[in-house]
Structure 1
Amino acid sequence: MEGEERKRVLVVGGSGYLGQHLLAALASPGGGGGGVDVDVAFTHHSEAAPRQLLDALPRLRAFRVDLRSGDGLEDIAASFGQPHVIVNCAAISVPRACEMDPAAAMATNIPSSLVNWSLSFGNSKSLLIHLSTDQVYEGVKSFYKEEDETLPVNMYGKSKVASEKFITENCPNYAILRSSIIYGPQTISPVAKSLPIQWMDGVLSQRQQVDFFNDEYRCPVYVKDMVDVILALTKKWLSDGKTIQVLLNVGGPDRVSRLQMAESVADVRGYSHSIIKSVPASSVNRGVASPSDISMDITRLTQMLGIQPITFQDGVRATLDAESSS
């Protein structure tokens, strides 16, 4: 019977930071939400999937996929089947890298091969949960709402606006999550990129003065809250299968500058604020335009899913506690 079919979740870009945290949650008993066990697969772009991840979560299926060409997607269809939920975490998300190679940013960040593959099954069984960014906003006011105009100031933001447009025009069921900076503990298989709280802790622990921007505002979101949002949407889709077409801001409750982020780390660790130097963002040329205030209003998120992301201070404490116990 149809109702007895095992539900399948595919995490695209599962070897990345958010991807690994999500896989760990999905692979736990009842990880599909509401006590539902799900079959979980993920894609990776590198030659081999991270060994530590596969050892820690042996039930996972790994597939090598080139998102630009779609190579590898047919292997998933053949041996895993059509996923009920596809979570797209794959992107070129370093703004400077997008600026230097706009063609690659567009080709990777607009998931055309993935969407076309999901449509090739010829039914509406799949929900696409797609990670977008707060950088779609221009950054000239505080607490942007989902319906505000998107006027990105850099190529990364432009590629994500284009991806949102592609998805809303082509997918019967989607949830687009405009995420702020995602922070939290390190992953099972450590990622190469620098993690914001750990980096701040590392430089502040040297007790040397460090510059932090005082005029760029974000709503950083704790990784486990981000995972909970994805799991809540997954559960909603798997339980009632009603059409989902939603766009959500996903940030934490606090609008903070890099300076305030560093001060929170200092407060949790007991470092002196005197080593934190307040500077304007214009003091550094990063080779890419950066929006100044892209803080987000998360009312729609809390109303729709009943999720209240934790405060930045609590998230910093949880992150540093996890690091010291690992």
Structure 2
Amino acid sequence: MDTATQKSNKPKILITGANGLLGQKLVEQLVVEGKFEVIATGKGPCRLNSVGFVYQDLDITDPNQVENVISQLAPDTIIHGAAMTNVDQCELNQEDCVLVNVKATEYLVRAAEKVKSHFIFVSTDFIFSGENGPYDEEAEAAPVNFYGETKLTGENLVKSSNTSWAIARTVLVYGIANDLSRSNIILWVKSSLEAGKEIQVVDDQVRTPTLAEDLAAGCILIAEQKAAGVFNISGSDVLTPYEMAMMTADYFGLNKDLIKRTDSTKFTQPAKRPMKTGFIIDKARKLLGFEPKTFRTGIGILSKQIILARS
């Protein structure tokens, strides 16, 4: 049997936002596992390093393009990871945020309904108020910023769709990807302390930080099992940013005296942040077999990736 025939026997999975952090991890893991024919989509040229997938240029804010690409490729599963996620930018550019987080989701859902794709929507802890986290899947949503509002609207579009669907909610994703300059708390703490800079880190917010590889693995478990419903896919360690900073300094043997404890009232940002979120992940553990890395293990993984990226 030739490889082309073998390839077409596999179910097709299409990833939106494939050039982003989650997208790159999804494509890498899916290609390694080899259970799906992988279609990576993104706006503009492909920025992925791996091989073994098809790349398709796709502007998800263009309804005609979405309709054409999805109807032609007819993927069995779509993982919709593309989003406008910069919370302050969303607050300041609300029209753009609606276009990317709401309208594009609507176009993709409509296209998915026509070809009966299993639709997996990546959502966020920012749909919650942050008054009483960590949250389980049944908790009531009450966003405190515009980004959270648009992601909640996206969730509701998915829930009311006529195709099989799942929602993978996550929290504070960190990691390193090819060709992405985006920082994260570990990289920021490491580079600041190495430069001898004093940093102010809040201790009145709570999150369950999520390694990008773990989020990708959770989404793939949902895809493989065609699981339906809402799943919390995050790390399991409930930590404040201050605790994350101290653990990072500890891991790299850096000067913890440079880390100054502060609180959210000292910072002014365009978008309000929910104070205490984080997720209870019992459902994903039990139903999907999801098991995330500890935050300390995550720091170790990033540390190796930093070295590899420099070599």
Q: TM-score, normalised by structure 1?
A: 0.87
* Mapped partners of 1:25, 1:71: distance in 2: 30
Residue in structure 1 matching 2:182, options 193, 203, 227: 193
**Residue matched to 2:79:** 87
Preserved CA contact (<8 Å) 2:122 2:169: yes
CA pair 78-59 structure 1, distance change in 2 beyond 3 A? farther
Shift of 1:192: 3.1
Q: Which residue number corresponds to residue 5 of structure 2?
A: none
Name the CA shift for 1:287/1:74 in 2 (closer, same or farther; >3 Å): closer
Cα RMSD for the two superposed structures: 1.8
Counterpart position of 1:278: 261
Deviations 1:205-246 (A, max 9, x none): 112211111111110011221121112112212xxxxxx431
Q: Which amino acid aligns with 2:57?
A: R
- Residue ranges of structure 1 left out of the alignment (5+ in a row): 238-243
Aligned position for 1:241: none
What is the CA–CA distance in structure 1 between the aligned matches of 2:118 and 2:273, rounded to whole Å? Answer: 32
The residue aligned with 2:22 is 18
| Residue number among 145, 168, 177 corresponding to 1:177 in the alignment | 168
> How do 1:82-231 residues align onto structure 2 when only pairs under 5 Å count?
82-110=74-102, 111-121=105-115, 124=116, 126-184=117-175, 186-187=176-177, 189-231=178-220
Q: 2:162, 2:237 → 1: CA distance?
A: 32
**For the structure 1 residues 14 and 274, does the alpha-carbon distance in structure 2 shift closer, same or farther, using more than 3 Å as the test?**
same
CA distance in 2, matches of 1:75, 1:127: 18
Is the CA contact (8 Å cut-off) linking 1:198 and 1:320 kept in structure 2?
Answer: no
CA contact (8 A) 1:222 1:310 kept: yes
Identify which of 234, 247, 250 aligns with 1:264.
Answer: 247
2:169, 2:232 within 8 Å by CA — same for their partners in 1? Answer: yes
Specify the code of the residue in structure 2 equivalent to 1:158: E
Letter in 2 for 1:115: V
What is the distance in 2 between the residues matched to 1:255 and 1:190?
Answer: 30
CA distance in 2, matches of 1:160, 1:78: 25
Aligned equivalents of 2:71, 2:139: Cα separation in 1: 41
What one-letter code is carried by the residue in structure 2 that aligns with 1:120?
K
Per-residue CA deviation, residues 151-188 of structure 1 (Å, 9 max, x unaligned), is: 0000000001100000000142111011101112x22x
- Letter matched to residue 194 of structure 1: S
Gap change, CA 1:120 and 1:174, over 3 Å in 2: same
Number of the residue aligned with 1:305:
288
Deviation at 1:75, TM superposition (A): 4.8
Amino acid at match of 1:173: S
Separation in 2 of the partners of 1:135 and 1:19? 20
Could you list the per-position Cα deviations for residues 107-144 of structure 1 after superposition, in whole angstroms to 9, with x for gaps in the alignment? 211201111111223xx3x1111110000110012311
CA separation in 2, counterparts of 1:144 and 1:304? 17
Answer whether contact 2:84 2:101 (CA < 8 A) is retained: yes
Alignment match of 2:10 (pick from 3, 6, 13): 6
CA-CA distance at 1:74 after TM superposition: 4.5
Moved more, 313-322 or 174-183: 313-322
Residue aligned with 2:303, SS: helix
1:132 and 1:48 map into 2 onto residues whose CA distance is 25
**How far is 1:321 from its partner?**
2.3
Aligned 8 A contact 2:234 2:279 in 1:
yes
Amino acid in the other structure paired with 1:317? G
1:288 aligns with 2:260: no
Q: Secondary structure at the match of 1:271?
A: coil
- Distance in 1 between residues matched to 2:221 and 2:70, nearest whole Å: 25
The match for 1:240 is none
1:43 aligns with 2:41: yes
Q: In structure 2, which of residues 304, 307, 310 is the aligned counterpart of residue 324 of structure 1?
A: 307
1:222 maps to a residue whose letter is: L
Moved more, 290-299 or 313-322: 313-322
Aligned-partner Cα distance in 2 for 1:120–1:248: 25
- Contact 1:219–1:256 under 8 Å retained in 2: yes
Matched letter for residue 12 of structure 1: T
Give the TM-score of the pair, scaled to structure 2: 0.91
